[in-house]
Amino acid sequence: MHLQLMAPPAWTEYELIDTGGFEKLERFGPYVLSRPEPQAIWDKSLSKEEWQGRAKAVFRRDKGSQEKGQWETRPGMNDRWFVPFRQGGLDLSFKLSLSSFKHVGIFPEQGANWSYIYDKVKAVPVERPKVLNLFAYTGAASLAARQAGAEVTHVDAVKQVITWSRENMEASGLDNIRWVVEDAMKFVRREERRGNTYHGLILDPPAYGRGPDGEKWLLEEHLNELLRTCAQLLDKEHFFLIINLYSLGFSALILENLMRAHFGPRPNTEYGELYLPDSFGKRLPLGVFYRFSSL
C-alpha cells in the first residue's frame, strides 16, 4: 500500500479550464464559472482578459469573509441548471446553483468515488445492502449507492441541503432514500447503541460546521471519536468505506494513522490525494481520501 494521486475519469459536463492566482476557471455543463481556490498559488496560464471573456459568473468574497460572497453574472447565466452524469452503470442528474458560499452543488473530483460506490454496492452479496452517507451534502454519493440497489440513509445537518438532495434524487429517477436531518455525531452514537450496522460507510466531514440544534463540529476535535464509533457500525463480513477530508491541516498520512488505529489493516486499501488536472496540465489538490473494501 502506498500513497496515491487520484483524479476522476473525464466527464463531458465538467472541465477545469485553468487555475492560478488563488482562483479556478471551470465549466459546468454550458456555463463557465470563476471561483476562489486557496491552493492555486501559482500563476494562471490564461490572461486576465481570457478569464473575463470566458466566465459567465464570477464569485466575489464579501469583505472580511473567507466563505460568503456574491456572484457577478453576465447575461444568459442561469442561477440554477441540471447536468447529467453518465459513467459505468451510473445515469444521474445533478441540480447546480450559484450559492452564497461559492459552492454549486457538486464536487467534481468526487467522480472518482461515485463509480467506486456503485461497483461496491453491486458486489455486496445481499439483496439490499445498507449504506450510510454522513455529511452527505447534496447527495451524489447517496444517488450512486441507491442506483446500485442499496438501502441508503443520508445524513446532513442542513434541511435546505436535504431538499436539494431530494431534487437530485427525483431528477435521477430514483426514490426511497432515507433522509435524516441531524448532527452526524448524535446519529452514529445512537446507531451504535442500537447495534445497527451498514455494508457501506461514506464520510465527507467538513473542517467545521453546526448541527441543526447548534451542535459544534470541529474536524480536529471530533474526527477521532467519529471514526471510533463508525468502526462499530461497519458490517464484519461484507463492507466498504470511503472518507474524504478537505481541511488543509490534514495530510493523507494523518488520515492513514487514524484509519489504521480504528479499523486496523483492511483489504484493498487505497489512500492519498484527490486532484483535478486543468487543461494546461497543472494538478489542483482537492483533499485527501482513504477507502477500503472486502469486495
Write the CB contacts of 172 (distance below 8 Å, at least 6 apart in sequence).
91, 92, 93, 143, 147
Does pLDDT of 101 surpass 90?
A: no
Residues 287 and 164 placed together within one structural domain of the fold: yes
> Edge-to-edge, what's the strand order for the sheet holding 69-73?
14-20, 23-28, 31-36, 57-61, 69-73
pLDDT tens profile 128-186: 999 999 999 999 999 999 999 999 999 999 999 999 999 999 999 999 999 999 999 99
Q: In the structure grid, which three cell numbers stand for residue 27, read together?
A: 465549466
Residues, the chain: 295
Domain end, chosen from 54, 73, 92, is at: 73
Residues 232 and 204 placed together within one structural domain of the fold: yes
The boundaries of the domain holding residue 267 are 80-293
Give the pLDDT confidence score for residue 1 in this predicted structure: 72
- How far apart are the C-alpha atoms of 275 and 288, rounded to whole Å? 9
Does pLDDT of 45 surpass 90?
A: yes
Instruction: Please report the beta strands in the chain, taking only residues with DSSP state E, as ranges in sequence order.
Output: 3-6, 14-20, 23-28, 31-36, 57-61, 69-73, 80-87, 90-97, 130-134, 151-156, 178-181, 200-203, 208-210, 216-218, 240-245, 270-277, 283-293
The pLDDT confidence band at residue 63, using thresholds 50, 70 and 90, is confident
Contact 207, 219 (CB under 8 A): yes
**Among 218, 166, 211, 163, CA closest to 187:** 211
Q: CA quadruple 105, 111, 112, 117: dihedral positive or negative? A: positive
Does this model's pTM top 0.85? My answer is yes
Give φ, ψ of 32 to 5 degrees: -105, 130
- How far apart are the C-alpha atoms of 73 and 75, rounded to whole Å? 7
As a whole number of angstroms, the longest Cα–Cα distance in the chain is 59
To 5 degrees, how large is the angle CA 85–CA 166–CA 86?
A: 10
Residues 238 and 279 placed together within one structural domain of the fold: yes
Counting the structural domains of the chain, the total is: 2
**SS3 state of residue 2:** coil
pLDDT tens profile 230-276: 999 999 999 999 999 998 788 999 999 999 999 999 999 999 999 99
Residues 277 and 161 placed together within one structural domain of the fold: yes
Residues 152 and 117 placed together within one structural domain of the fold: yes
Residues 13 and 159 placed together within one structural domain of the fold: no
- How far apart are the C-alpha atoms of 41 and 19, rounded to whole Å? 9
Residues 61 and 88 placed together within one structural domain of the fold: no
Contact 32, 25 (CB under 8 A): yes
Give the pLDDT confidence score for residue 247 in this predicted structure: 82
pLDDT tens profile 27-38: 999 999 999 999
